[in-house]
Amino acid sequence: MSRIRPDIREVRALIARALCGASEINPVDEGVSTHVYRIKRSEEIFYLRVLPEEGATFAPEVEAHALLRRAGVRVPEVVYWDDLDPGLSRAVMLTTEIEGRAIGKDDLGAALPTIVHAAGRDLALINQVPVDGFGWIRRDAPGDTRLRGDIASETELMLADLEPCIRVLQGTDLQWSGADQIREAIHRNAQLLDAPHAHLSHGDFDATHIFSHEGRYTGIIDLGEIRGTGPHYDLGHFRFHDGETLPTTLLPYLLEGYRDAGPLPHEVDRRIALDSLLIGVRFLARMHRRLARPTRVHALAAIERDFQTLWA
């Protein structure tokens, strides 16, 4: 993403059109794929996102928000969006806030399992939304609200870059002596990548995206990385990062809530471990030069754990 932020004067003009003014407009540094601003109007908080690419659209993400809110999922409400803001010449989207903070930023004590349980139910509802094709949700057709990806199968999506990723890691200080075994464990279990149709995934789901306020669950934030995947991608992503920012394991509570929305399939532990392992290998290959030591230690331990689950 281009790190050159939009002209703040144009941002203010946009907010004046969308909200009839605002008392505060502050850039947020947490955006990865978009420029993000926190907007305060009286006691209300909103978030503005601006896509950096010309011709890109928020339309599918707006549709995902609407579908999920109708299903009872606690995600932000889209209050304004435009595929081509006249001042910024980019797609923009304005949402309400999810009250509170990410669960890793507060000592929630005994309330934490209940909060994560509630998030698990919402995650299951997210993963029930059908997508036409696997892979990143396409954003290249302004006004097109369809949820669609370009990849034909779950296997192709998850295994396409396996060999390049392993080669990258073998040439670094993150290499492991069992790379061939990891490759074999993945291929031995590849038949579990058998989703006949793609499902909507949050795409980046971990504890930083679960919000709470005063000990109660308030919702899930950031649908900026939605994609079409198999039904266990988000659970695998959560498993890989579980314990990275909090000193306790939360996946069991997430799965309890997930089951509230419907049963999980046979061999679900292996399916989740396979997605987690593939996500972990890709994560290390992409990020190995930038990881702080605690994150690197966590990632390697998660890969070893998932390998042992699949090798058994």
Q: What whole-number distance in Å separates Cα of residue 208 and Cα of residue 205?
A: 8
Indicate the angle between helix axes 233-241 and 251-260, nearest 10 degrees. 160
Residue 170's pLDDT band (boundaries 50, 70, 90)? Answer: confident
Q: Which domains does the chain have, with CATH numbers?
A: 8-96 (3.30.200.20), 101-311 (3.90.1200.10)
| Exposure class string for 209-224: b at 16+ Cβ within 10 A, else e | bbbbeeeebbbbbbbb
269: pLDDT strictly greater than 50: yes
Residue 2 has pLDDT above 70, yes or no: no
- The pLDDT, as a whole number, for residue 187 is 95
1 pLDDT above the threshold of 50 = no
Q: What SS3 state is found at 47?
A: strand
Of 2-16, 55-69, 211-225, 252-266, give the lowest mean pLDDT range. 2-16
**pLDDT for the residue numbered 244:** 92
**What digits encode the pLDDT tens for the residues 26-53?**
999 765 678 999 999 988 999 999 999 8
pLDDT at 32: 64
Does 258 score more than 70 pLDDT?
yes
Q: What is the pLDDT of residue 174?
A: 62
State the DSSP code for 174: T
Strand order in the sheet with 35-41: 24-28, 35-41, 44-50, 92-96, 78-82
Instruction: Note the pLDDT tens digit of each residue in 133-158.
Output: 999 999 999 999 999 999 999 999 99
Instruction: Please give the mean pLDDT across all residues of the chain.
Output: 93
pLDDT at 228 over 90: yes
Q: How far apart are CA 307 and CA 301, in angstroms?
A: 10
Q: How far apart are CA 179 and CA 281, in angstroms?
A: 10
pLDDT at 118: 98
Any residues with CB less than 8 A from the CB of 233 and at least 6 apart, and which? 199, 201, 203, 227, 275, 279
CA distances from 16 to 20, 24, 90, 91, 186 (A): 4, 12, 17, 16, 53
